[in-house]
Amino acid sequence: MPPLVSIRDLRVAFNGVPVLRGVDIVLQRGEALGLVGESGSGKSVTWLAALGLLPRHAHVTGSVQLEGREILGAPAAELDHVRGGRIAMIFQDPASALNPVLTIRKQLCEALALHRDLQGSAVKTEARRLLELVGIPDAARRLEAYPHEFSGGQIQRIMIAMALAGNPDLLIADEPTTALDATIQAQILELLSTVRRELGIAMVLISHDLGVVAENCDRVAVMYAGRIVEDAPSNQLFADPVHPYAQGLIGALPPLDGPRRRLTAIPGTVPDPAQMPSGCAFAPRCALAAEPCGLAAPSLAPIANDRSVACIRAEASRRALLGIAAE
Amino acid sequence: MGRYFAIRIGRAALTIVLVVTFAFVVLRLSGDPALMILGPEAPPEVLAAFRKAWGLDDPIWFQYLDYFGAIARGELGRSMRDGRPAIELVLERIPATLALTLPAFVFKVALGIPAGIYAALHRGSGIDRAVMMTAVAGFTVPSFVLALVLVLVFAVQLGWLPSGGQDSWRHAILPIATLSLGGAAVLARFTRSAMLEVLGQPYIRTASAKGVPWRKVVTSHALPNAAIPTVTILGFMVGTLMAGAVVVESVFAWPGVGRLLVVAVANRDLAVVQCILLLVAMTMVTSNLVVDFLYGFLDPRLRSKGAHA
């Protein structure tokens, strides 16, 4: 049986400037994958490109298969069926994610009408059920309200309800809690994982917050400058990051338990997409960079049966980490 | 909602008072009507009699109060030129003006809005650039220049259409074309930028991401939002229906309100000028009120703000 989603060598360029430089992701049914990286590393672009949601001037190549069927460049009608019906997506900014001039009912029922075979009052009943499912009180009345009458957290709940309307197999949550207060963040993440568990859908959680990803995902892919640099089960990545960039990210997190240690920062900044260094994009910031790092960009290669990393210094990097840990 | 409109109606009334006052002051300051109408050679006693007959020798504040009192009673004065009620003179010109401005309005909307939407949806395409270049040309070229070019081409060179007058429907074609092209250009540019603004909003991406076909994203998500700013400029265009044709009517010798205004100003025919200004101000103010009402209808955010206010 083919994986739910299989992305191979996905590349995106805006006006000739490459922003995604060969991304490979395989996602199984029901799996929760975290996608982390700095802003501009290509986390959102990967999925916007996969669903054909990028503006026309974006040049997209590679392959995106949904259960073995190619959807990249598929006809509009087929993509419309996939979007919302097979793969749903929710976005970062709740304030502007819903159409301000349409009621919640119109926007929810629109999704239901598109992807579910429901007629007449059944549509509204289902819309109400979805709102109740995501925890909007007084759902029947609130259906007639407009987006500006809800708080950011409530909007995000409605977005989740709308995403679930099409009974998707995969939910892409693009920084779903970034714009929310800390307490609301926890509630939304809780809701996402409940929904995922109960409905058995796969989820991709895009975030720059490692903690959020660690708690909610089985597996994490770390992105840097338009590439995946490390892909590992969550617990292993956090215990034993191999790629120097992943090490840097985790080294910058304060540990909640264990002895106090000095937090490390990654020197330098992300390279400008228009002026990518030849070879490994992280090399200019990498403490372990050696001469061969500047020659060719390393490809994502397996280092264990469920882990892969894109670094020719992976072994040295691992030893260095263990060395630090032994001190 | 009630307060929202009470405030706006109050403002509208104030606007009309200000316009009328402004007209009164400017016209009184800009020359002696007696001299303008009777000529500088008129004997002093004739001039004095004329001033007395029209109340021009009263103190200016008295004239002003008198004038307001008359307006409140619905008396808009008589033309100093032929003694007929000013309102009559103006009203009989309105059909001629509307015969130009109404069809022009329809053409502006029918041409400008679809062109703007199309350009926005095909941003950067050859057609977009062509529409925008035409639009820039359309609103940078003053209407009298456009009118003269049209006359030169279609009346003088080709001889297809008359260059002026009001004898048949063919006489209306060039004035209507002049008015339509400029307005359509403004509207196309405006609609295009309103659409582009809306198409870049996250909720458009949300709609696409939930599988709404693009055509429907445009019609049921983008257009209702783009309509909000576009209504503003439409309201302004409705407001100019009465007097927007001053230049065009003059160029084409079309006997409408605009031409009457030019003649009345040149002659210091105070009552007629004031009557026209009042009419224009009222059309403007009314269309602004309608726009405010439409905002409330189009934008639920304003509706509830009004309710809470």
pLDDT tens, residue by residue, A64-93: 999 999 999 889 999 999 999 999 999 888
- Higher pLDDT, residue A51 or B125: A51
Please check whether residue A112 touches B, CB under 8 A. no
Q: Is the pLDDT of residue B304 over 70?
A: no
What pLDDT score does B4 carry?
A: 73
Highest mean pLDDT among B50-59, B124-133, B164-173: B124-133
- Pick from A85, A101, A162: which is nearest to B224 by CB? A101
Residue B307 has pLDDT above 60, yes or no: no
What mean pLDDT value characterizes chain B? 84
Provide the b/e sequence for A19-56 (b: ≥16 CB within 10 Å): bbbbbbbbbeebbbbbbbbbebbbbbbbbbbbbbbbee
Quick check: B40 and B238 in contact, CB under 8 A?
no
A49-58, B64-73, B180-189, B281-290, range with the lowest pLDDT: B64-73
- Partner residue facing B209 (CB), from A83, A110, A115: A83
Where does chain B hold its CATH 1.10.3720.10 domain(s)? 89-299
Give chain B's contact residues with A (Cβ, < 8 Å).
124, 201-203, 205-214, 220-221, 224-225, 228, 298-301, 304
Q: Report whether pLDDT(A317) > 80.
A: no
Average pLDDT over residues A99-116: 92
- Pick the most confident of A119-133, B150-164, B208-222, B235-249: B208-222
pLDDT at A159 over 80: yes
Contacts of B203 in chain A (CB under 8 A): 96-100
> Taking 70 as the threshold, does the pLDDT of residue A326 lie above it?
no
Mean pLDDT of A273-278: 83
Its ipTM equals 0.86
Give the residue from chain B lying closest to A50, CA to CA: B209
| pLDDT given at position B116 | 93
Identity of the residue in A53, A57, A162 whose CB atom sits nearest the CB atom of B208 = A53
Nearest CA in chain A to B298: A101
pLDDT band for A103, please (50, 70, 90 cuts). very high
A327 falls in which pLDDT band (50, 70, 90)? very low
Query: Per CATH, the architecture of B89-299 is what?
Result: Orthogonal Bundle (1.10)
CA angle, A135 as apex, A130 and A141 as ends, to 5°?
Answer: 70
Tell me the mean pLDDT in the region B180-208.
92
Question: What mean pLDDT is predicted for residues B244-268?
Answer: 85
Name the residue with higher pLDDT: B115 or A299.
B115
**pLDDT winner (highest mean) among A103-112, A277-286, B146-155:** A103-112
Do residue B209 and residue A53 have CB atoms under 8 angstroms apart?
A: yes
Confidence at A321, pLDDT banded by 50, 70, 90: low
Whether the full predicted model's pTM is greater than 0.80, yes or no, is: yes
CATH topology of domain A5-217: Rossmann fold (3.40.50)
Please count the residue pairs, one from chain A and one from chain B, whose beta carbons lie less than 8 angstroms apart: 83
Residue intervals of chain A classified under CATH 3.40.50.300 are: 5-217
A-chain residues within 8 Å CB-CB of B225? 99-101
**What confidence tier does B309 reach under pLDDT thresholds 50, 70, 90?**
very low
Whether residues A148 and B300 touch (CB distance < 8 A) is answered with: yes
The values of phi and psi at residue B103, to 5°, are -60, -40
CB A298 within 8 A of CB A311: yes
Q: How confident is the model at residue B202 (pLDDT cuts 50, 70, 90)?
A: very high
- Give me A37's structure tokens: 């990286």
Q: Is the pLDDT of residue A206 over 80?
A: yes
